[in-house]
Structure 1
Amino acid sequence: MKRLIFSLALITLYVLYVKADVPLQPDFQDDKIVGRWYGIGLASNSAWFKAKKQFLKMCTTIITPTADGNLDVVVTYPKQDRCEKKSMTYIKTEQPGRFISKSPRYGSDHDISVIETNYNEFTLMHTLKTKGSDVNTVVSLFGRSKELRPELVEKFKQTAKEYGLTDENILILPQSDTCMTEA
């Protein structure tokens, strides 16, 4: 029991440390982040990512504001011979550009930070995903178009490495026309 309490305390300290270390887009404006985005890059140290990495492809993400000021996020991605959708609500925090979300389907908590965006070309995000005692880092790169300038892709890779992810944890998602027109 003492070992479990000690482990949970260490996880809590780690989560608090990482949250404090994640920069946020200065003067973040959530009304400018809404609309269609394409998933360009994904990096994670989760077991799920390692197992599924070879099957992942570019996805479409639609962000819309909710009546209560949060953001609804719908991701559409190809899975085998069909299009799958995953919906989440990003709940605003007191820090502009930082959101929390829960996944009832997977039982995980997400702490999402918009690290950098210019709103009309790219968005770089950091997510700390917690499920029980499992804590994983996710870094994502989104583009308003299916292709981004090479320096932005390189910035994504460097950012992922700054959060302890390795080359094996980083994926530039293969382009696909499948599910790209879904909303």
Structure 2
Amino acid sequence: MALLLLSLGLSIIAAQEFNPRAVVQRNYNMARISGVWYSIFMASDDLNRIKENGDLRVFVRNIEHLKNGSLKFDFEFMVQGECVAVVVVCEKTEKNGEYSINYEGENTVAVSETDYRLFITFHLQNFRNGTETHALALYARVPQLEPAFLSRFEETCKKYGLGPQNIVDLTNEDHCYSKR
């Protein structure tokens, strides 16, 4: 029995290893991203929007690829200490892996990269009152990821002009997680 538990534990650890050969950065099969996800990291050129009580600080629960090609996101966020559930639908655009939504301005949400089985990174471009904000979100199929994923996320952030100082770790900040 102990051997069985040990092998199960090792297989879970091995399943979390970052595999750069599995990463997809175009021609996405969006149906494969449907399912349960956890918020791991966010980054933005406006940290106030992703810090505690920020309007873009959300904790993903589920993503569903709809029949019409749109994406449905189930999120939770904190409002005055209470967990509030929100469902938003992002409409498919002409570009593969890109969606639009009206929330706190005009937004474009695009997949930056994914391996489908373990992680996905989204890039959000928000236009509000003449101001443009960029935010990135790293979601995972598990509540925690190994450090190699942070390194990869930092590299992705650099492509958008964001450094480590722009990154917020959400893994221990999801106060609604225990209520799942």
Report sequence identity in percent.
Answer: 25
Letter matched to residue 48 of structure 1: N
Structure-2 change in CA distance of 1:131 and 1:182 (3 Å):
farther
The equivalent residue for 2:114 is 117
- Deviation at 1:134? 0.5
The equivalent residue for 1:53 is 51
Q: Does 1:169 align with 2:166?
A: yes
Q: Secondary structure in 1 aligned to 2:177?
A: coil
Q: Secondary structure in 1 aligned to 2:89?
A: strand
Deviations 1:90-114 (A, max 9, x none): 11112211111111xx2x1111111
8 Å CA contact 1:58–1:176 kept in 2: the answer is: no
The equivalent residue for 2:7 is none
Structure-2 change in CA distance of 1:175 and 1:79 (3 Å):
farther
- Deviation at 1:138? 0.5
8 Å CA contact 1:77–1:85 kept in 2: the answer is: yes
TM-score by length of 2: 0.74
Structure 1 runs not aligned, ≥5 long: 1-23
Match for 1:129 among 112, 118, 126? 126
Structure-2 change in CA distance of 1:142 and 1:72 (3 Å):
same
Structure-2 change in CA distance of 1:182 and 1:118 (3 Å):
farther
> CA RMSD, aligned part only?
2.5
The equivalent residue for 1:94 is 94
After superposition, residues 1-183 of structure 1 pair within 5 angstroms as 25-46=25-46, 48-49=48-49, 53-54=51-52, 59-103=59-103, 106=104, 108-176=105-173, 178-180=175-177
CA distance in 1, matches of 2:128, 2:43: 18
8 Å CA contact 2:125–2:135 kept in 1: the answer is: yes
Deviations 1:58-84 (A, max 9, x none): 823311233433111121134453112
Structure 2 runs not aligned, ≥5 long: 1-23
8 Å CA contact 1:39–1:173 kept in 2: the answer is: yes
Structure-2 change in CA distance of 1:181 and 1:71 (3 Å):
farther
TM-score by length of 1: 0.73
Runs of 4+ with >4 A deviation: 54-58
Letter matched to residue 82 of structure 1: E
The equivalent residue for 1:10 is none
